[in-house]
Chain A
């Protein structure tokens, strides 16, 4: 077991617990930067997709994992981000302006919704966000001059200072752009979580009553968290729009919301790393299923006629995770790591969760 010897108070709130963790992140980032030279276009496109999903997952993680607000409508924020960015770029604004603006617009919209929504909790909030999702979907169809209606809209290709970042013509540039955005957001997110604001998110998640007693403005904290969450998701939506190239409202279906929930739940609720693990899983599994399907055809089993098999497998994975490993992939990894670190002193109940029994305010 590694003992971290702290010689100053700054070490207590340092982003990295020890030097090795800092080095690990640096190595990971270096590998990600040189990735375009290592793999072909197909895998690079997949890696870009994974990065975008991880960004969206981080957006949802702020709300679900760190503030305890379940949202079933984050596809709506992806849509708003994508449409805002493309529409702004179509009016002639450069990407460097339209991209943050898209995030800002989405964040403001999210905060606007959050003001009434944060008065609700748990189930009610989930339902309200679902309603918002349906309303946004219909609005997208109605606002045809901006969004292209049912026909869809084209995401213009990006160019910054003369350099082109087109998804097809210069995939490696687009990949680096996504990587830069994801790295910056991750860095900001990690720092946010050790600031008073981030700590108050956690306090609100763990006990609203105690948080209020400690002087945290619960309503404002939750609205802020929801706004931040939708803003980051909006940025991911903008990148997703550029990644897809040409899209209409069908890209942002309710299934996207559910996939996003899958990303954060399977990855590990309450861990930034979880968003990445979940994103890797959700982009890799369809590929694995496709490979598996091809191999099964070779031995005479044809599954191509079974529609919805992917969704079904995702659902089963999700059910198994919720039942057997509610802390997700990252939680499992922590358990394995701890087992090795304290070997042979690991005990079965080290990670046992306190069960909470239901009590209600209903009186009838």
Chain B
């Protein structure tokens, strides 16, 4: 029973890792770059929703506040691509890594100077409501998290697999020049994907905030989400979710049954094992390099 309870809590946690990882994967799918600021975008999204929704701030209804925050963060993601990322177009990959790490600090500073560094609680309609059955307690927030994550993963997967824009984004990442020649507006697609990943990050942030207080340093969760994306294989949306769930479940179980600090290390140990044994991740998409 205890194990089952841990697993269910872990699944909900894993969904949040998975959601942040989805943001990584989307940008990776579209531009083969990694946005290390994704965790901080999630944090900023949660704070923006809090700013719109909490009764002592703007006091909008919860649903409206979340949608407003997603729209605003879409703008932030789009703007970041437009103003900063586009300028390093054509530079080596690691330039983007360093750039987005720096951006993450800027986001953290912005959130810290607006909302302060003391933890705040987002007011949600499903706070404190639990479902009981057979000795297991499931909070409504967990159920909502799992449901939203599943729906979003399927929607994004369909977006990349079937829509014209999604396919164009994949073409742009596989061969920028060729995609440009056949008429894919590479730049505009990149901006759009960054905007979308901002909106997804906001959703992840809001779901994270339903489960506890938030402060500007929760963005560090991004590192764990990153491990999730790598375990699934960067570039695979279902893989990101599976990676997130693996980490989410292993962490509390290891915390309960394994000694000491092993629980904190477990996501990274799993990631290293996956990287060594299957360098492309569980849902590998990389073929051997051919000359």
Contact = CB atoms under 8 A, between A and B. Distances in A.
Contact of A355 (B90, B260, B286, B287): B90
Interface stretch (A4-12, A84-92, A311-319): A311-319
Interface stretch (A29-37, A343-351, A356-364): A356-364
Interface residues of B, number: 56
Contact of B90 (A311, A323, A356): A356
B97 A123 contact: yes
Interface residues of A, number: 51
A326 interface: yes
B109 A323 contact: no
Interface string B100-117: 011101101100110001
Nearest to A364: B285
Contact of B276 (A116, A323, A326, A353): A116
B102 A359 contact: no
B261 A319 contact: no
B291 interface: yes
Contact of B106 (A135, A265, A315, A322): A315
B102 A357 contact: no
Interface stretch (B12-20, B49-57, B171-179): B171-179
Given A124-B275, A130-B223, A319 B94 contact: no
**What 3 pairs across the A-B complex have the smallest Cβ distances?**
A355-B90, A131-B268, A315-B102
B265 to A, nearest CB: 5
Interface string B190-215: 00000000000000000000000000
B185 to A, nearest CB: 15
Given A308-B108, A308-B112, A141 B94 contact: no
Most B C-beta atoms less than 10 A away, residue of A70, A309, A319: A319
Interface in B277-291: 279, 285-291
A269 B106 CA distance: 23
A196 B247 CA distance: 44
A144 to B, nearest CB: 10
A68 B101 CA distance: 18
A322 B92 CA distance: 11
Q: Is the contact region of chain A dominated by helix, strand, or loop, or is it mixed?
A: helix
Most A C-beta atoms less than 10 A away, residue of B87, B102, B226, B268: B102
A272 B34 CA distance: 28
B44 to A, nearest CB: 14
B31 A361 contact: no
Nearest to B29: A362
B163 interface: no
A128 B102 contact: no
Interface string A126-154: 11101110110010011000000000000
B99 interface: yes
10 contacts: A128-B272, A132-B268, A132-B272, A312-B106, A319-B106, A322-B91, A323-B99, A357-B90, A360-B32, A360-B173
A44 interface: no
A23 interface: no
Contacts of A308: 105, 108-109, 112
Contacts of A135: 265, 268-269, 272
A113 to B, nearest CB: 9
Contacts of B287: 361-363
B272 A131 contact: yes
A315 B289 CA distance: 35
B130 interface: no
A258 B31 contact: no
B93 to A, nearest CB: 5
Interface string B243-284: 000000000000000001100110011011001100100000
A116 B275 contact: yes
A314 B90 CA distance: 24
